[in-house]
Chains A and B, each alone.
Chain A
Amino acid sequence: MRALIFVEHSNGVVSENAFEMLLLAKSIGAECHGLICTGDAGAAQALGTQLTGFDAVSAVADPTVGHYNPEAVLIALKAAVETQAPDVVMTSYSTAGVDLAAGLAVRSERPMLGYVTDLELNSGGLSATSQVYGGKLTAKTDLPLPAVTTVMPGARKAGSLSGAAPAVTMLKPDLSGARTRVREIITPDNSSGVNLGNADMIFCVGRALGGTEKLPLAEALAAALKAELAGSRPVIDAGWLPKIRQVGKSGTKVKPKLYLMAGVSGAPEHLEGMESSELIIAINSDEQAPIFRKAHYGTACDMFQLIPALTERLNSGNS
Chain B
Amino acid sequence: MHIAVILRLNPVLTDELELTEGGKDIDREWIGFELNPMDDQALEQSVLLKEAHGAKVTAIAAEAEGGERLLRTALARGVDDVLLISNKKDDDAPPPSSRARTPLLVEAIKQVKPDLVITGILSTDDLYGELAPQLAACLNWPQASAVSDVRLDGMVLTVRQEYAGGMAALIEMDLPAVIGLQTAASPPRYVAGSKLRDLLNTKVPEMEASAEFAEDLSEATTLNLPDTSGGAEMIEGDAKSVAARIHEILMERGLV
Complex contact B137–A292 (CB within 8 A): no
Asked, given contacts A183-B158, A310-B243, A313-B247, whether A141 binds B221 with beta carbons under 8 Å apart, the answer is: yes
* Contact of B187 (CB < 8 Å), options: A183, A237, A313: A237
Complex contact A186–B173 (CB within 8 A): no
State whether the Cβ of B93 lies closer than 8 Å to any Cβ in chain A: no
Complex contact B146–A133 (CB within 8 A): no
* Contact of B145 (CB < 8 Å), options: A98, A257, A288: A98
* Chain B residue contacts of A98, Cβ below 8 A: 121-122, 130, 133, 145-146, 180
* Contact of B161 (CB < 8 Å), options: A70, A290, A314: A70
* Chain B residue contacts of A114, Cβ below 8 A: 126-130
State whether the Cβ of A69 lies closer than 8 Å to any Cβ in chain B: yes
Query: Interface of chain B, helix or strand or loop or mixed?
Result: mixed
* Chain B residue contacts of A115, Cβ below 8 A: 127
* Contact of B142 (CB < 8 Å), options: A70, A100, A201, A253: A70
User: Nearest chain B CB to A296's CB is how many angstroms away?
Assistant: 6
User: Nearest chain A CB to B241's CB is how many angstroms away?
Assistant: 9
State whether the Cβ of B211 lies closer than 8 Å to any Cβ in chain A: no
* Chain A residue contacts of B240, Cβ below 8 A: 309
Asked, given contacts A253-B165, A297-B233, whether A133 binds B124 with beta carbons under 8 Å apart, the answer is: yes
**Bound complex: CA of A300 vs CA of B236, how far in Å?**
8
**Bound complex: CA of A106 vs CA of B102, how far in Å?**
10
Complex contact B221–A71 (CB within 8 A): no
Complex contact A180–B162 (CB within 8 A): no
For chain B, the count of residues having a C-beta within 8 Å of the partner chain is: 87
User: Nearest chain B CB to A164's CB is how many angstroms away?
Assistant: 29
Give the contact-size bracket for chain A: 35 or more
* Contact of B134 (CB < 8 Å), options: A102, A201, A257: A102
Complex contact B166–A95 (CB within 8 A): no
| Residues from 293 to 311 in A contacting B, C-beta threshold 8 Å | 293-302, 305-306, 308-310
State whether the Cβ of A265 lies closer than 8 Å to any Cβ in chain B: yes
Query: Interface of chain A, helix or strand or loop or mixed?
Result: mixed
* Contact of A133 (CB < 8 Å), options: B26, B160, B162, B228: B26
User: Nearest chain A CB to B227's CB is how many angstroms away?
Assistant: 8
Question: What are 20 residue pairs bridging A and B, where the CB atoms are less than 8 Å apart in the complex?
Answer: A70-B144, A95-B146, A99-B144, A99-B145, A106-B133, A114-B129, A133-B13, A138-B225, A138-B226, A142-B217, A143-B220, A179-B142, A181-B173, A185-B167, A246-B166, A249-B164, A258-B250, A281-B249, A290-B226, A293-B232
Q: Which 9 A-B pairs have the closest CB atoms?
A: A102-B129, A298-B232, A188-B166, A106-B137, A305-B239, A103-B133, A309-B243, A295-B232, A179-B174
Given A133-B17, A252-B165, A317-B247, 20 additional A-B pairs, CB 8 A: A95-B161, A95-B162, A102-B131, A106-B138, A114-B127, A133-B13, A134-B124, A139-B222, A144-B217, A233-B182, A243-B166, A250-B164, A286-B14, A290-B226, A293-B228, A297-B232, A302-B239, A310-B246, A310-B247, A314-B247
